[in-house]
A and B are shown apart, each in its own frame.
Chain A
Amino acid sequence: MASKNDPFQFQEFDEAGTLLESNRDAVTISIDDEDLKSKRQRSAVGFAQDVGDEEPLISEDREELLSGKNKNAPFWTFEYYQKFFDIETHHVRERILGSLVPWPGKNFIQVHLRKNPDLYGPFWICTTLVFAIAISGNLSTFLRYFGNSNYKYTAEFGKVSIAATAIFSYAWLVPLGLWGLLLWRSNKILNLVSYSFMEIVCVYGYSLAVYIPAVVLWIPHVEWLRWLSIVVALCLSSSVLVMTFWPALRDDHPKVIIATVAGIVLLNGLLAVGCKMYFFSEAKLGPGHVSPPAAIITNGTSS
């Protein structure tokens, strides 16, 4: 039937059944696609029709291919993590600024993350904080005993690993706990807002950014300055976190709200004060050294 007409002219084909009746030994192909099964009768007639119906089915794949993100990659492949690094310099800058200056009413996740949580910010902010704490602690002990001949300067590298453990566990375990808590509460109470685990990790990571300048301020051995910077940093950081989680907790039982908010602020404060106590405490000299007042006394008694 097709050969009678001009082969270059577009033509309509009849139903598959009628074609088969005329030409019994023609090769037939049947496409067993579950999505298209219901449309097989309709789409047997040429391609000019029903293009619009197929759009929603293939648009998802096309979107995935165009955006370069494979949302279905298993978590042990490289591509899975690549979609968390899909940001640019100005995004990171905006997010850091947004965590430093919390605006009442502006939810960090909704305003800055916008369904695109990244792992770059949290990871490098935590790493910078670890090294900032270690270096500042070192500098502060050095400056305290500067010019004191009894003090031999040591670069304490064991502190880096301890700082790293503390900060990275805060940045990963607390979001895990909070996410679990929100998941548990969302089963009991219908929440309008729900956050994914990566978004919570992202918020926590960026909220630690305010501690980096605070840690630098701890170098000079001025107690009131240290406590002032801790309080300010704690306020800024906690307010970012509380404002972010308020929409998710607001519909809940008052006791749960208070407990969760108190928990967030408390853990934050614990991290800050703990770091100050451990890294910036007095006279962290080695076992072979004598502390200055005792040295003076022994010198005094021996002479």
Chain B
Amino acid sequence: MASVEEASRPFAGLSDVSISEEIPVEGDIAVPVGPSTRDDEFSTLDEPVKETIVRDLRAVGNKFIHVLYPKRSSALLRDWDLWGPLLLCVTLALLLQGGAADKDDQGGPQFAEVFVIIWFGSIVITLNSKLLGGTISFFQSLCVLGYCIMPLTVALIVCRIVLLSSSGKVSFAVRLGVVTASFGWSTFASTAFLADSHLTNRKALVVYPVFLFYFVIGWMILTFSSGN
């Protein structure tokens, strides 16, 4: 009985729910603030402009290398940037000009058409990936899709060089081979980054739009014919 009363004593005040004003509530909350950890990250406002630009260029170049050798690294995902995709998109759109049909109204893709196809296509694929429950963020996905256009841009440069020399059946076969190889490379590289963020039973659903996207870009490159 005594132990019960002892046990009930800490709960004695509970039957009276109202807090009486005699119980003081006070104390100290102190958070020890150590030395600032951002001391070594000096303000980038003071550094020379050349250093800022070189640092960004190095980051972009680093990502290009990651696309060339698509291992399972997260460098593309961690620090995403859209400089590389913009550079590639503009290069692609510029190189697709100067085609045979440029002199007519309808014909090869206009600069704006290439831009719209690439960016609108990337946005639609990213939305699709997010709606299917992907864990990758919007801009990370845009970054990956944009950087993986690089093999196709290289293929376009090769195609233009080949077209300078000849435009017969042999050159067509060479161009077909180059474009097919680079299309496969692009798709493989981007799925290495994108497919990991989804469940296994939805991977094909996420990969197919990427396949279609690069197929259409590859088609635009393959059908490019230079003017005389």
CA distance A92 to B215 in the complex (A): 21
B205 touches A92 (CB 8 A): yes
> CB of B73 within 8 A of chain A?
no
Residues facing A in B205-228 (CB within 8 A) are: 205, 208-209, 212, 215-216, 219-220, 223-225
User: Count the B residues whose beta carbon is within 8 Å of the partner chain — how many?
Assistant: 43
B165 CB–A CB distance under 8 Å: no
Contact between chains at B202 and A89 (CB < 8 Å): yes
Q: Cβ of B219: which chain A residues have Cβ within 8 Å of it?
A: 135
Residue-by-residue, is A171-192 near B (CB-CB < 8 Å gives 1, otherwise 0)?
0000000000000000000000
- Report A129-170 residues with CB < 8 Å from chain B CB: 131, 135, 138, 152-158
Contact A85 B132 (CB under 8 A): yes
**Do the beta carbons of A154 and B108 come within 8 Å of each other?**
yes
Cross-chain contact B101 with A89 (CB below 8 angstroms): no
**Residues of chain B within 8 A of A286, CB atoms compared:** 101, 104-107
Say yes or no: A26 contacts B17, CB within 8 Å: yes
Cβ of B42 under 8 Å from chain A? no
Does B15 have its Cβ within 8 Å of any Cβ on chain A? yes
One of B99, B130, B131, B201 near A88 (C-beta < 8 A): B201
Q: Is B103 engaged at the interface, CB distance under 8 Å to the other chain?
A: yes
- A158 CA / B201 CA spacing, docked (Å): 37
A287 at the B interface (CB under 8 A): yes
**Please, what's the 1-or-0 string for A79-108, where 1 marks a CB less than 8 Å from any CB in chain B?**
001101101111010000000000000000
Whether a CB of chain B sits under 8 angstroms from the CB of A55 is no
- Is B128 on the interface with A (CB-CB < 8 A)? yes
Contact of B106 among A23, A27, A123, A154 (CB under 8 A): A154
A244 to B116: give the CA distance in the assembly, Å: 38
Task: Give residues in B with beta carbon < 8 Å to A.
Answer: 4, 7-8, 11-12, 14-18, 99-101, 103-110, 113, 128, 130-133, 199, 201-205, 208-209, 212, 215-216, 219-220, 223-225
In addition to A23-B15, A88-B205, 20 A-B residue pairs with Cβ atoms within 8 Å of each other are: A6-B4, A7-B8, A25-B18, A78-B131, A82-B131, A85-B128, A85-B132, A89-B203, A92-B205, A124-B212, A152-B225, A155-B220, A155-B224, A156-B107, A157-B106, A157-B107, A157-B108, A157-B109, A286-B101, A286-B104
Q: Which residues of A contact B (CB under 8 A)?
A: 1-4, 6-7, 23, 25-27, 78, 81-82, 84-85, 87-90, 92, 120, 123-124, 127-128, 131, 135, 138, 152-158, 286-288
